């Protein structure tokens, strides 16, 4: 009888977790999910993935001016891909990165100096899928309002070209992820064509 009650309780608990609003129904290591016509579904629960770094007001354009408040970016990667990188210094097939973008503000509550993240502006998703994409990596963008929508990859676009040319390890900007950069140097997986030091 006790075993039956435990099994019943476990089943009810699992059902409540699945049905509870706000919890991800996508396993953390499920990999990219696509519709039948090739659209990437917006990743669920990515804030439970591994956080690798943040940026503030970053721009790869030397002529970019200060157009409004600088944005924060937060980068997450699937846990299984992160574990693989720790062991090998490179990314496995089905790796997914999410870069979320937040606006910044310096005025609010008790803050007197510095900036903090404010309004959510959208997210970019980078996917490595060797069987689906001839060029292995593809890039997708979701607006802030696309909470349960899809995004289409524009193919070999500016994002793809920039990552291919400038990213330190494969298509990932590991040069901006301090802990992973140290590991990539130890593993010898940094692309020899990438110039890492540019401190003027």
The enclosing domain of 138 has a CATH number of: 3.50.70.20
17-24 contact pairs (CB < 8 A, 24+): 24/48
Domain hosting residue 143, numbered range: 28-187
Inside any domain, residue 4 = no
Inside any domain, residue 3 = no
Overall size of the chain counted in residues: 200
Inside any domain, residue 12 = no
Radius of gyration of the chain (CA): 20
Inside any domain, residue 196 = no
Inside any domain, residue 139 = yes
How many other CB atoms are found less than 10 A from the CB of residue 33?
14
* Statement: the pTM of the whole predicted model exceeds 0.85: no
For residue range 89-118, what is the model confidence (pLDDT) as tens digits? 999 999 999 999 998 878 888 877 888 778
Inside any domain, residue 194 = no
The domain tally of the chain equals: 1
Inside any domain, residue 10 = no
State which H helix or E strand residue 86 sits in. Answer: helix 79-88
Inside any domain, residue 5 = no
For residue range 124-168, what is the model confidence (pLDDT) as tens digits? 999 999 999 999 999 999 988 866 567 888 778 889 999 999 999
Tell me phi and psi for residue 123, to 5 degrees. -150, 150
């Amino acid at each position: 009888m006790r075993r039956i009650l435990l099994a019943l309780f476990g089943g009810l608990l699992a059902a409540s977790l699945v049905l509870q609003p706000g919890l991800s129904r996508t396993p953390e290591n499920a990999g990219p999910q696509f519709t039948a016509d090739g659209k990437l579904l917006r990743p669920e629960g990515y804030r439970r993935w591994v956080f690798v770094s943040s940026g503030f007001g970053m721009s790869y354009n030397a002529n970019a001016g200060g157009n409004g408040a600088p944005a924060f970016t937060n980068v997450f990667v699937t846990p299984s891909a992160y574990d693989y990188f720790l062991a090998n210094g490179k990314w496995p097939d089905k790796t997914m990165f999410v870069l979320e973008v937040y606006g910044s503000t310096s005025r609010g509550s008790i803050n007197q100096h510095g900036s903090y993240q404010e309004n959510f502006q959208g997210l970019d998703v980078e996917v490595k899928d060797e069987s689906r994409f001839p060029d292995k990596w593809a890039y997708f963008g979701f607006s802030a309002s696309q909470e349960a929508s899809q995004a289409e990859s524009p193919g070999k676009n500016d994002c793809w070209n920039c990552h291919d040319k400038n990213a330190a390890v494969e298509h990932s900007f590991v040069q901006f992820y301090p802990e992973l950069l140290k590991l990539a140097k130890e593993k010898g997986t940094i692309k020899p064509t990438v110039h890492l030091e540019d401190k003027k």
